[in-house]
Amino acid sequence: MATVITIQPSSTAGSTTPGAYSSQAHHSPSDSLRRRPHPSASATPNTLSPSPVHGAPSLGRVSGRDGASCDACLGRKSRCAMNDITNKCYSCDFHRQDCTFTLSAGPVEANTKKRKLPDTARDHGEITKSRLSTVQPVQPAPESEAAHPAQPPSMIRSGFFNQTTQHIGMTTELEPTLLEYLPLDEYDECTVSASRIRRCADDCTFMRVVNTVPIGDSQAVSLDAIESLVAPYGSTLVEKFFEHVHPSFPILMEDAFRQSYRERRHLSPLLLAAVYVLTLKFVDVGTGSQTARRPDAQRLESTALKLLIDSLPYPSISTIQAGLLLTQKSTLATASLNGQLVTAGFELGLHQDCTTWRMKTWEKGLRKRLAWALYMQDKWSSLVHGRPSQIFAFNWTVKDLVEQDFSDAFASGTNSVHDDGDVGHGPLLFCHMVALTTILSDILDRFYTLQAIEDFRAAGNQRTRIILDKAKPAQIRLKEWFSSLPAALKMESSTGEIVETITDEHARNGALHLAYFATEITLHRCIVRSLAGDGADPYLAHICRSAAKTRLISAMDFVNRLRPAHLRSFWPASARTNFSLIGSFGMLLRITAPTNEEAEFYRIRLCEYRWTLSVSHKNAEFMGFALESLDHATMLDKHVPAKPSIEELMASSAKQPSRPTMGSGGYDDALGEVDMHGGTGASSSVISGLASPATSVSDIDGDEMPM
């Protein structure tokens, strides 16, 4: 029986509940969306299946060669580069076939001819390219192949690569009610004009399979071309991907991908390139080898990005998968690319509940995983770039993730799923990250929309009280989220000590906890900003700033206690900004400090934090962004006016009329009661929950806070 994995649904209009999807097939999103096999169609062994892209990167075939080409490369009319380690060319080594020269040399020469590796500078600028005229669509395999024991049906019968699947919306020219009367075949399909209409469910959900995707030169970028950019490290990179990335970001199907990679069939070059791009950092290619080339990382990245951009107008499932992987590299995770990727997901209907759709159980789980991964990318991109989110609760019906949604995510025969009871570490980590992201979405919608900012500005001196009132649900959800973390996802042992012997699984928890601190900081930044101005109540400002101070110290201590194993693990693209937010929050508290002494306290803590970042930088290069951001903020701080001393402030306050105290008909009555501490004896008002003058995390939220 499937068990629901702990995820907190959003209770507000601006956020949603968790669920996600992914597939290796780079055509229709399910086997239920495949075209019927043509009577004359036959599967072509070892046929490379580029993703449905148009346009071409400038990757021309090279006419000159260093020595004669082998028979296989001559037949493909592709560049032949020798790998002296295996005594084969890279293409034959990739395909695990003999490398012979019977067609390119005489009998004696064929047996003795051996070539040098091409010049590095020239070879890195050239990629094998097949003639466009030789590229043929991958035909659907015979129906009997659908029962392949090691691969899901749609992984084998992937359909034509020049087709795309589109979700039919309720406002298009096709009337859904009319489509209900279409005569459907055994595949629940019907031909309409130049496309096929597929009925996915009885709730008027239809998909359109279109065969009009332009066949451009980009499709000539084959698996061989991608492999040549990283040879001879291809298989190592795949292993590293499933070791470091996939456990916490399971948007592929491990068994299906591995089989496709072994057989060099039904695997999108775009997806393979994305896997390689994201995994290069985990492979130490070294400089000791004199024969092995270093992977051409720059050309690999530019080729993958080109293929992705070309495929977005005609997206497939592998387009979404590759896009999500590439946007986990912070230098590629732009706001514009995020918007295009979300739109592509809408095109495939990933924003809809697929529970009743006519597809296999594994495919529904795959679809939900990919959908929620897209949701997380959108929300964290909104935070990182300060741009509006593209996904809204009123157009998002994806259901919560359950255990069976991960049944085909990991390789069979491993303990990836069932090593921690009902579900494994990877699914737990993924689901708790989704749940945390829904809380972030709630905070962004409540406090950071243009309308919300305008409402707070119009509230004048009452804005802090209004913000604190709105913050109650988010603070409660954050507390419940953290208290629900299983032991496997915590950063510390049951005794509260940091785990010294760090397993690979515990090392991955760093990104989850960093995201938690970033979410809390995002909430408190709004509160601290509202205190600016002459009308702010001094006592209210004091307790709010005390709570903010506690959060900052806790976050800085967390970063200080990260071990090299944590830093070398997989971190999503948002991590570099999340580290920067800690410094930005400290700078906000420094420049808004009421006294010079308090400002000096934050200056010292920021200097300590900078030192921590500089030490950690050697194990996590993306820390350089946080260092640079902090340095820029420090330079700008010189423009902030000097603060008065405590004595000067107290002398000034003595001349002001007294303010009402807590519990005397003041802020408690205005904000209402909410028990934030579970009966610990602290004040039960939201102010004490958000802004206790305590100096330790445990004083505010008991023993539930991390670190």
Tell me the per-residue pLDDT of 315-350, one tens digit each, with 9 for 90 and over: 999 999 999 999 999 889 999 999 999 999 999 999
- Distance (Å, rounded) from C-alpha 341 to C-alpha 374? 8
pLDDT of residue 493: 55
H helix or E strand, kind and range, residue 223: helix 223-228
Residue 646 corresponds to which tokens in the numbers above?
């405590």
Q: What angle do CA 160, 161, 165 make, to 5 degrees?
A: 80
Q: Give the mean model confidence (pLDDT) for residues 173-185.
A: 81
Confidence label for 531 from pLDDT (cuts 50, 70 and 90): very high
Residue 502 is predicted with a pLDDT of 74
The pTM for the full model equals: 0.72
Tell me the average pLDDT across 144-152. Answer: 33
Q: Which amino acid is at 514?
A: L
Q: Mean pLDDT over all residues of the chain?
A: 74
pLDDT for residue 85 is more than 60: yes
- Residue of 126, 119, 206, 132 whose CA lies nearest to 165: 206
Q: Measured between alpha carbons, how far is 160 from 135 in angstroms, rounded to an integer?
A: 12
Largest alpha-carbon pair distance within the chain?
Answer: 105
Q: Is the pLDDT of residue 706 over 80?
A: no
pLDDT recorded at residue 162: 55
In angstroms, rounded to a whole number, what is the distance separating the alpha carbons of residues 10 and 445? 11
Taking alpha carbons only, the member of 476, 515, 512, 520 closest to residue 491 is 512
CB atoms within 10 A of CB 361: 12
- Res 100: pLDDT: 85
Q: Quick one: DSSP state of residue 242?
A: I
Q: Rounded CA gap, 441 and 399, in Å?
A: 17
189-192 and 195-199 as β-strands: parallel, antiparallel, unpaired? antiparallel
Higher pLDDT, 579 or 212: 579
**Residue from 225, 263, 94, 249 nearest 571 by CA:** 249
Q: What average pLDDT does range 203-221 have in this prediction?
A: 61
Q: What's the average model confidence in pLDDT over 359-386?
A: 95
In the chain, pLDDT over 90 holds for what percent of residues? 47
Find how far residue 97's CA is from the centre of its chain. 37
Q: What is the pLDDT of residue 151?
A: 38
In which element (H, E) is residue 634 found?
helix 623-636
Residue-wise over 686-704: b if at least 16 C-beta within 10 A, else e? Answer: bbbbbbbebeebeebbbeb
pLDDT at 167: 80
What number is the average pLDDT over the span 348-357? 92
pLDDT value, residue 243: 94
Cβ(620)–Cβ(630) below 8 Å: no
Give the residue from 436, 519, 521 showing the smallest Cα distance to 481.
Answer: 436
What pLDDT band is residue 187 in, cutting at 50, 70 and 90? confident
More confident residue, 284 or 300: 300
pLDDT band at residue 379 under the 50/70/90 scheme: very high
C-alpha span between 28 and 30 (Å, rounded): 6
For residue 60, pLDDT over 60 is answered with no
* Per-residue pLDDT tens digits for 456-498: 999 988 999 999 999 999 999 999 999 999 999 998 754 455 5
15-28 pLDDT, tens digit each: 443 333 333 333 33
